[in-house]
Copies of this chain bind each other. A is one copy, B any other.
Amino acid sequence: MDKVYIARAEPQGAAREIADALALAIHEHRLAPGTKLGEDDLAEIYGVSRTVVRAALQRLAHDRLVDLKRNRGAFVAQPSVREAREVFEARALVEPRTAHSAADRATPADIAALQQHIDAEHAATSEGNAGRALYLSGLFHLEIARIADQSTIEAFLSQLVARSSLIIVLYWQRRNALCESHAHHALLDAFAEADGDRAEVLMKHHLVDLLTSLDLRNAPQPAGSLKEALGR
């Protein structure tokens, strides 16, 4: 259920697989912001040549998940306060309307899929796997875009959700994630009743709630390589 896009059989198959694996690691906070992603290391880990690793890194750089620095290498991105605000502002701009139209279109199968996502979130939280819970929480939002049948918006949101993961690891304050699943459950109810207006309002509040629970006053204190965090 994880590799949703693996079946799309696109070109650069190997590069895409590696990019997805790295993106997942970033999502689940196994790779901290600022971590250096050496080409030789990745090539050895995945058993391919640097050529395909570079393609994967370029893809991630395009999604702003990694920063490419000329002659220095690739690093897991460390979104600035400004970027953090922009990402959530963009989400607040797009997602409420998307939720509205998704609620209008949702079929029983869609509702069931959303319920599964929420269950999986709960399971991950119970296991204490906060990183995975956060990743699944992002998938919930993407699923809504899929239900709205707007693949263009879905692709954009996919980037925003991924970057949100990085932002949360850098700026997150509130430690309990219960509010999260509660908000998602409320959204699901609105979907089940096909109440687009309520879904829109709920989504808007959910995102505002997320943004306000971040501490954007201070510069980030990344857990990544010390040299990167300081010298840059």
* Residues of A near any B CB (own CB < 8 A): 9-13, 51, 54-55, 58-59, 61-62, 68-70, 83, 86-87, 89-90, 93-94, 97, 150-153, 156, 160
Please measure, in the bound complex, the distance between the C-alpha atom of A96 and the C-alpha atom of B117, giving whole angstroms.
Answer: 33
Q: B residues within 8 A CB of A12?
A: 58, 68
Pick the most buried of A11, A13, A55, A97: most chain B CB atoms within 10 A of its CB.
A11
The prevalent SS among residues of A at the interface is helix
Closest chain B CB from A179 CB (angstroms): 25
Q: Are A93 and B87 in contact (CB under 8 A)?
A: no
Question: Smallest CB-CB separation from A54: which chain B residue?
Answer: B55
Cβ of A86 and Cβ of B152 under 8 Å apart?
Answer: yes
- Out of B69, B93, B152, name the residue touching A97 (CB < 8 Å): B93
In the complex, the answer to whether B156 meets A70 with C-beta atoms within 8 Å is: no
Residues of B within 8 A of A59 (CB): 58, 62
The chain B residue with its CB closest to the CB of A51 is: B51
Chain A to chain B: the 5 pairs with minimum beta-carbon distance, closest first: A11-B68, A86-B152, A11-B70, A62-B62, A90-B152
In the assembled complex, which residues on chain B have CB atoms less than 8 Å from the CB atom of A97? 93
For A10, the chain B residues whose CB sits under 8 A away are: 68, 70
Question: What residues of B have a CB within 8 angstroms of the CB of A68 in the complex?
Answer: 10-12
Contact with A93, one of B58, B70, B153 (Cβ below 8 angstroms): B153
Q: How close is A15's CB to chain B, nearest CB, in angstroms? A: 8
Residues in chain B near residue A160, CB distance under 8 A:
152
Cβ B55 vs Cβ A150 within 8 A:
no
Q: A11-B61, A83-B152 are in contact. List 15 more A-B contacts (CB 8 A).
A: A10-B68, A11-B68, A13-B70, A51-B51, A58-B58, A58-B59, A86-B152, A86-B153, A87-B152, A89-B150, A89-B152, A90-B156, A93-B97, A94-B94, A152-B160
Residue of B nearest to A153 (CB): B90
Q: Closest B residue to A61 by CB, please name it.
A: B11
**Chain B residues positioned under 8 Å from A86 (CB to CB):** 150-153
CB distance from A111 to the nearest CB of B (A): 23
Q: Knowing A59-B58, A93-B94, A93-B97 touch, does A69 contact B11 (C-beta < 8 A)? A: yes
Contacts of A150 in B (CB 8 A): 86, 89-90
